[in-house]
Each structure stands twice: as structure tokens, then as C-alpha cells.
Amino acid sequence: MAGKSHCQSQRQRGIPLQPAPALAMGLEGKLQLHDKNKVIPPERIMQESLDQSLHDKLGQRIAAEILEQHHHEDQIAEAVRQVKERCGDIQTRLAETVPAELGKEPVQQWRDVVEDVSEEMIKNCPF
């Protein structure tokens, strides 16, 4: 499709083209302008957005409660302790690893190297 305009590709796919004024008039029936040129979608769209927001927020709240009930933070702390204990040598070499890796890939940031080291520790030193 190189060299073809957006309109040409729409025409080939059978998508009817609407002139800009006709498109704007079609949207006027669906969207309302509110104070200070803010757009408000149809009620159905707002209801769907509310449902999704409730789902997301309640899901986060319920997940947090479940994690708290199962002592999630304590389990994480214990796993971190075990991995650090079992992979102490990798942790000790961190000050050498970061500059060496940055020398290989200068565009990489030190935090990326630290993330890679933590992944290596988890992989090689299971808890």
C-alpha cells in the first residue's frame, strides 16, 4: 500500500468515504458539547466506562485484601531473604557487573542491568 493515500486504501476496502462536514454532523448526534468545549459521549459509553472502572477498582481492592489475608508481604520478604542468601555471590559482584554490562551496551541504563541481575538471581537461586 506504499504510495496510496488513506482515502484510496479505504475505497479499496469498501469503506464509504464521508466528507468532513458530513462526518462532523454524524458525530454531533452522538457526542454532546459541554461547558468549555468538553465532549460528553452517549450514556451507553459512559455506563460501559463506569462498569469497567468499578471492575478495575474493586478487583484491585479485593486482590489487596486476599494478598493481605495470606501474608503476601511476609512471603515476599522471606523469598527475598532466601534468594539473596543462596545467590550472595551474584549480589556481591553487582558493583562489577553493572559497569561491565554498560560497557557492552552503552545505551542501557544501570537500572536495566540491576533488573537483569535480579532475574538471573531468581532463575538460578530458587526460593
List pLDDT tens digits, range 78-108.
999 999 999 989 988 999 999 999 999 988 8
119 in the same domain as 96:
yes
Say how far residue 25 (Cα) sits from the centre of its chain.
35
Position 80 in a domain: yes
Say how far residue 114 (Cα) sits from the centre of its chain.
21
Position 77 in a domain: yes
Mean pLDDT computed over every residue of the chain: 82
Whether residue 6 is predicted with pLDDT greater than 70 in this model: the reply is no
- Note the pLDDT of residue 38: 83
Region of 50 (left: φ > 0; alpha: ψ -120 to 50; beta: rest) is alpha
Using the Cα atoms of residue 115, residue 120, residue 126 and residue 127 in order, give the sign of their dihedral: negative
User: pTM of this prediction?
Assistant: 0.53
78 in the same domain as 122:
yes
Residue 52 structural domain:
41-70
Position 121 in a domain: yes
